[in-house]
Copies of this chain bind each other. A is one copy, B any other.
């Protein structure tokens, strides 16, 4: 048996954190590329999706749901509002808040983004069988839930 110590094969590639990072980079590249033609970015999708999932919300609530900073929410809502994909109106019940609502055009746009991003997932997971994909998502979810506690401040 040779000394395992001086061989250390594939040190870089072996680290799960590094694997995850490289996959995230690839995934982001695919997603950005797919979204580019629509004039939207990942933040826009995250916001539209959060609105579709939970209904109209204040900007602060959107930030908490998506993990996007309040200040970045402002810019994202600005851009979506400019394209009339969402509406920003003052909340009569609490005048500190703006209520953000998806417009019909926004819903249509989201459906297109959904379609595009579904394609990205397929491309990303192409090497895996259907069963493995479920396994993969399950493991990812559990890892995230475990590490997720650390993330939140």
Binding site for B on A (CB under 8 A): 8, 10-17, 19-31, 46, 49-50, 52-53, 65-67, 114, 117, 120-121, 123-128, 132-133, 135-137, 139-148, 150-151
Contact = CB atoms under 8 A, between A and B. Distances in A.
Contacts of A143: 23, 124-125, 127-128, 136
Copies of the polypeptide in the assembly: 2
B17 A120 contact: yes
A85 B21 CA distance: 25
A122 to B, nearest CB: 10
Q: Provide the main secondary structure of the chain A interface.
A: helix
Given A28-B21, A141-B19, A144-B23, A49 B11 contact: yes
Contact of A127 (B12, B31, B145): B145
Contacts of A65: 12
Nearest to A19: B140
A10 B30 CA distance: 22
Contacts of A46: 12
B21 A24 contact: yes
Contact of A19 (B12, B13, B67, B144): B144
Contacts of A125: 16, 143
